[in-house]
Amino acid sequence: MGKKLALSCPHCLSHRVVRNGHPHGDKLQFFCHSCDKYFSEDAAKGYPPTNIPYPVIAYLLYFRKRVPEFSNMREFRRFVSQWLNCLGIKKGEVSRQIIHHWIKNYEPDLERIISFEEARDYCRRILSRIVKDIPETVKKDKTIPHTHVLKIIEDIFGRDYSQDLIRRDRVFFDELCELVSKYNVYCYKSVDERLGRLAKRPFFARS
């Protein structure tokens, strides 16, 4: 079965745990010799069972908590659908019922179970695998310059919110810039059109 790991069983808290392969798709499974029960890596970390990987849901919920615009369910659904599509997890729109389920069941304990940085790093690992699978001949550099990204974020959320977020949570603000710059996750906001409109402003043209 393999060697013992520095991992505790979520059922009995024993450390007599060994790897047991990947019997259910790509999810690594473990076996506890103390209580003779099997469990997944997610269960060992305290993640609730979900169809979409829990760290991805957590990442999205962190955005809902920190971006005022996402108190609007329609705007949050669009963000969720676009990001899941970007990660290659789900095509099409996510239903209101599913998102309400996430908010009700996962948001209250979010920070206790997983940090924003852990959720962010999980998503970045998925993106890195996707990028590796894209042939070099079809890769395109669509990165938006950082100074333009700052103007776009100010235009979307307001200057006061943007400056407050920089002071209050720079890690999250940097991730917000990353989404707009590298992945155009706010494409539904028509980034190209927004850039064209902002370019007409004197302060933007000089940047």
Predicted confidence (pLDDT) per residue in 57-98, tens digit: 999 999 898 887 788 898 889 888 888 887 888 877 889 999
> Are residues 128 and 52 located together in one domain of the fold?
yes
DSSP state string for 79-140: HHHHHHHHTTS--SPPPHHHHHHHHHHTSTTHHHH--HHHHHHHHHHHHHHHHHHS-GGG--
Give the torsion through C-alpha atoms of 59, 62, 64, 65, to 10 deg.
170
Amino acid letter, residue 188? Y
Mean pLDDT, residues 167-192 taken together: 69
Mean pLDDT, residues 22-26 taken together: 56
> Are residues 88 and 53 located together in one domain of the fold?
yes
> Are residues 131 and 57 located together in one domain of the fold?
yes
With a pLDDT cut of 70, the percent of the chain lying above it is: 73
> Are residues 59 and 128 located together in one domain of the fold?
yes
> Are residues 26 and 79 located together in one domain of the fold?
no
pLDDT at 117: 92
What's the total number of domains in the chain?
A: 3
> Are residues 72 and 94 located together in one domain of the fold?
yes
> Are residues 146 and 196 located together in one domain of the fold?
yes
pLDDT at 131: 57
Report how far residue 137's alpha carbon sits from residue 153's, in angstroms, rounded to the nearest whole number: 31
> Are residues 147 and 207 located together in one domain of the fold?
yes
pLDDT at 23: 56
- Range of the structural domain that residue 191 is part of: 140-207
> Are residues 200 and 180 located together in one domain of the fold?
yes
